[in-house]
Amino acid sequence: MEDAFARSIPEVLDFFGVDPTKGLSDAEVVQHARLYGKNVLAEDQRVPFWKMVLKQFDDLLVKILIAAALISFILALINGETGLMAFLEPSVILMILAANAAVGVITETNAEKALEELRAYQADVATVLRNGCFSILPATELVPGDIVEVSVGCKIPADMRMIEMLSNQVRVDQAILTGESSSVEKELKTTTTTNAVYQDKTNILFSGTVMVAGRARAVVVGVGPNTAMGSIRDSMLRTEDEVTPLKKKLDEFGTFLAKVIAGICVLVWIVNIGHFRDPSHGGFLRGAIHYFKIAVALAVAAIPEGLPAVVTTCLALGTKRMAKLNAIVRSLPSVETLGCTTVICSDKTGTLTTNMMSVAKVCVVESAKRGPVVSEYSVSGTTYAPEGIIFDSTGLQLDFPAQLPCLLHMAMCSALCNESTLQYNPDKGNYEKIGESTEVALRVLAEKVGLPGFNSMPSSLNMLTKHERASYCNHYWEEQFRKIHVLEFSRDRKMMSVLCSRNQMHVLFSKGAPESIISRCTSILCNDDGSIVSLTADIRAELDSRFHSFAGKETLRCLALALKWMPSTQQSLSFDDEKDLTFIGLVGMLDPPRDEVRNAMLSCMTAGIRVIVVTGDNKSTAESLCRKIGAFDQLIDFAEHSYTASEFEELPALQQTIALQRMALFTRVEPSHKRMLVEALQHQNEVVAMTGDGVNDAPALKKADIGIAMGSGTAVAKSASDMVLADDNFASIVAAVAEGRAIYNNTKQFIRYMISSNIGEVVCIFVAAVLGIPDTLAPVQLLWVNLVTDGLPATAIGFNKQDSDVMRAKPRKVNEAVVTGWLFFRYLVIGAYVGLATVAGFIWWFVYSDSGPKLPYTELMNFDTCPTRETTYPCSIFDDRHPSTVSMTVLVVVEMFNALNNLSENQSLLVIPPWSNLWLVASIILTMLLHMLILYVHPLSVLFSVTPLSWTDWTVVLYLSLPVIVIDEVLKFFSRNPIGLRFRLWFRRSDLLPKKELRDK
């Protein structure tokens, strides 16, 4: 029954055909279970393991590599190769792909935990009326129409319409569902609000929320998936994980690279059609197969096999650095996503605030005889921890607050006129409440005031254990006074009173709404001397003024405290006793903003990141908080920047688009509204980070480009998020954004490094094929270079230091190519030199080396006809491993120098020297040692078809490799200086990567 909140109690009971005095019969229970289903959140159908594995291979570059591995294996078998060499290349490729697939499967498995943990918020048991008798049954057996009784501390087992109140008031903590910081008062009357949100449905008890005050009976109107909690689960199931900007760019680059590779492979094969019939191949078919192998080698050379592993490693290193900043990353790609975040949708309660109601201000009457009449005290401390200082109106600390009469009696009243509990949880390391948050705030105030008459106060309190300290002062007053009778809070009186006795003296303590308490007061307690004087019209007007200032301008939740001395013979209270009270003071409390939020917000704005505060609270409270944290000081008013969910939905489509671009505050929202906001912003090509801590935030956290949960939040929110803030500190987001930007910059550097290296390998093979000289590099040598000698320096580039102005730059655009046209030209030039230098090393050995045959160049070009004609040299010279060893070594060394070029995109090595990144220097040294290992250790040299080099060979290698630094320094000079602007603008006309929509509209 979806509109139970808008129906009267008889209508709801008639709909389900239930008698509220007897409940459902067994037969009706069976019938309703068949009609409406069970009260469980059904397990969603999981993606089969084999499908998750196959999904990891659904990538164009991966498919090309698999094809290359299979073709390599088939060609080896056709050529009659057996043993290790036939399987080496395809085995290495498949092992790399398997490792990448394993990482992907683990990530996806973790993401599904959010749906499982949602069930933890379902109640275990319920007190149900059936067949005229109450019994305790498993909550899973509830059906719509069941009559259920709930009381303080109960977890609501299903969505229920209240039909009877068994106490003066019923209050429910709905924070996990709506994000409201204070509990919600429930009532029986029908809701008439149009487009009612959860907060408006004051007659509905929602599944998973907790009763904090009162006792009531209700009829079940929704179970399992038809509850508010069930709708959150359905929203999460409908939400697909967003692909990160980096992943999109890498996918686009992979598609582009695949097309280029395919074109070059076909071109190489076509160029050499004339050589298919060369006698050395033994026939046209074998010639075609030979050049097909060259094309496959070209594909292996062009694909950066190590790129996925290096990206993963770099992101993993970033997660370690971010963990030190209290940002725990659950999804590796989200590290990079932070770097281009343009909008942060921040939940208010528990994120910008502590989600712990605390007393911020106290107002008392100082003296009726001399001015000032009224004094204000401010109270520090923003959590339930009994740690805080009370300051007077001039900002001076009160050393002994309990010596002031009004503050002392406030502490008494706060401790005694109270039904909540404050305790320390050693497992979580924090203080927790049981009961109404406003009452707990009063208990904390009593602890901050301390006790009177002890010389060691308040320092002695600090010597207690945290468990003892939690309610030490409250327990003191509860031992000093004996509670005799309690008048519970009622909606008409708007107050609560308790009769206490101490040493044959009876005292009535009252607390409640200021307008109710002050109207019943006839006298006041003076703070300067403890005297009691009459409450005059002037003092009443002054108190009313302070109350309206607290509640209006400062949007504090206000309570007034009062007392009355009663006859020592009185043992009970009536409503008539709540008159002629003595006013003690006024307290103003709020869910306070976190101290560090203001600076964090300003840092976000400096970095070009817009912050939208999203909350279920009412508009005025949220606007007041935003003013307190100083996040929106630049706004004169909130007129076009603050919207409720219903106001936003009523706007025409065009005005909604404009409103989204200006919005700073979004109030009275439900979970569906948060998800809608994220989607709307994403359609405007914004990169959205969503913060939250409640169950209600989970769908939006999952939908956002990066979901950020609070460490103290619900398990559902954490599981649906990409990142968890261990310290619940909004400021940690700023540090994480800076780290994300630095990681992206480093990621770009090593991607460019690997691209230029692979371009060099492609140029090498292509030029060799076009010139008609023997194969310069074997496929296994290319794999070694791509995975080991390229991979180590590329990973070390991830340790490049963060730029000093990283948080002063605007967020990069999501459609910004990883490699732009100008940069591609730069790395094409570098790659071309790498390839030509590699081929030059090969030719040098044949033509010029003293240890080589010193062949004329024409003989080298006609090597394939050697067996068919007479020569002055043996044809076996073309099988010598020296030339390919020189080529491979040139390729390795030139790429080591190229790694140094990537310490910075545009800064010279003279400005940023190699030792600025010692990890890179170490990786280059290690790479060269590994290369020496395969050159000079016999089994490895055979495996990689290489041979030891002489000092002369090494000298030539260095001569051929060093110029790559000079070339890149010239290109960097053009990038830095205006003289190169004309070139850069020309190349910027078109980016390397194809333009396409980032999201499906």
Band of pLDDT at residue 991, cut at 50, 70 and 90: very low
pLDDT tier at 998, thresholds 50, 70, 90: very low
Q: Would 101 be classed as within a structural domain?
A: no
Query: Which pLDDT score, from 0 to 100, does residue 246 have?
Result: 63
pLDDT for 123 equals 54
Whether 347 is catalytic is: yes
Task: Return the pLDDT at 266.
Answer: 80
Q: Which domain holds residue 700?
A: 328-351+592-726
Same domain, 782 and 861: yes
Looking at per-residue pLDDT, the higher value among 935 and 254 belongs to 935
Determine the residue type at 44: D
Q: What mean pLDDT, rounded, does the chain reach? A: 81
pLDDT digits (tens, 9 = 90+) for 679-695: 999 998 898 999 877 77
Quick check: is 109 in a domain?
A: no
pLDDT(613) > 60 = yes
Q: Where are the alpha helices (DSSP H) in 221-362?
A: 228-238, 245-271, 284-302, 307-323, 333-337
- End-of-domain residue from the set 726, 749, 777: 726
Tell me whether residue 81 is in a domain.
no
What percent of the chain lies above the pLDDT cut of 90?
26
**In a domain? residue 130:** yes
* Residue 232 pLDDT class (50, 70, 90 cuts): confident
Same domain, 461 and 492: yes
Length reported for the chain: 1001
**CATH number (domain holding residue 441):** 3.40.1110.10
Is the pLDDT confidence value at 985 over 60? no
What's the average model confidence in pLDDT over 497-517? 94
Q: Are residues 275 and 392 in the same domain?
A: no
pLDDT tens readout for residues 550-592: 888 787 889 999 999 999 888 899 999 999 999 999 999 988 8
Same domain? For 232 and 333 the reply is: no
Residue 229 lies in a domain: yes
Burial class, 372, CB count within 10 angstroms (exposed 0-12 / middle 13-18 / buried 19+): exposed
| Tens-place pLDDT, residues 22-69 | 999 999 999 999 888 888 765 555 566 677 677 767 666 677 667 767
Where b means 16+ CB within 10 Å and e means fewer, 789-818 reads bbbbbbbbbbbbeeeeebbeeebbebbebb
Residue 247 pLDDT greater than 90, yes or no: no
Give me the pLDDT at residue 110, please: 46
Tokens of 674: 């948060």
d(CA 731, CA 33): 49
Among 562, 588, 614, give the residue marking a domain's end: 588
Check: CB of residue 580 under 8 Å from CB of residue 564. yes
pTM of the model: 0.63
Residue 68, domain member (yes or no): no
Whether the predicted pLDDT of 834 surpasses 70: yes
Per-residue model confidence (pLDDT) at position 996? 38
- Asked if the structure places residue 980 within a domain, the reply is no
Same domain, residue pair 551 and 603: no
Q: What is the CATH number of the domain that holds 709?
A: 3.40.50.1000
**Contact by Cβ (8 Å): 107, 182:** no
Q: Residue 161 region, left (φ>0) first, then alpha (ψ -120 to 50), else beta?
A: beta
Nearest to 461 by CA among 403, 406, 400: 400
Q: Give buried/exposed letters for 394-409 (b at 16+ CB in 10 A, else e).
A: eeeebebbbebbbbbb
Q: Is the pLDDT of residue 702 over 70?
A: yes
Asked if 960 and 818 sit in the same domain, the reply is yes
CATH number of the structural domain spanning residue 829: 1.20.1110.10
- Residue 989 has what pLDDT? 42
Are 396 and 501 in the same domain? yes
Give alpha helix (H) positions in 848-994.
857-861, 882-901, 918-936, 938-943, 951-961, 963-976, 981-987
Last residue of a domain, one of 697, 726, 755: 726
From 347, 790, 864, 953, the catalytic residue: 347
Lowest mean pLDDT among 89-93, 220-224, 326-330: 89-93
Are 365 and 390 in the same domain?
A: yes
Query: Mapping DSSP to helix (H, G, I), strand (E, B) and coil, where does residue 96 land?
Result: helix
871 inside domain:
yes
**Residue 381 sits in the same domain as residue 458:** yes
Q: How far apart are CA 209 and CA 188, in angstroms?
A: 18
Domain count, the chain: 4
Answer yes or no: do 382 and 477 share one domain: yes
Per-residue pLDDT of 361-410, as tens digits, reads: 999 999 877 766 899 999 998 889 998 999 998 889 998 899 999 999 99
Contacts of 249 (CB under 8 A, 6+ apart): 817, 818, 993
Co-location of 515 and 371 in the same domain = yes
Contact between residue 777 and residue 891 where contact means Cβ atoms under 8 Å apart? yes
Whether 369 and 440 map to the same domain: the answer is yes
Which range has the worst mean pLDDT, 583-587, 612-616, 823-827, 838-842?
A: 823-827
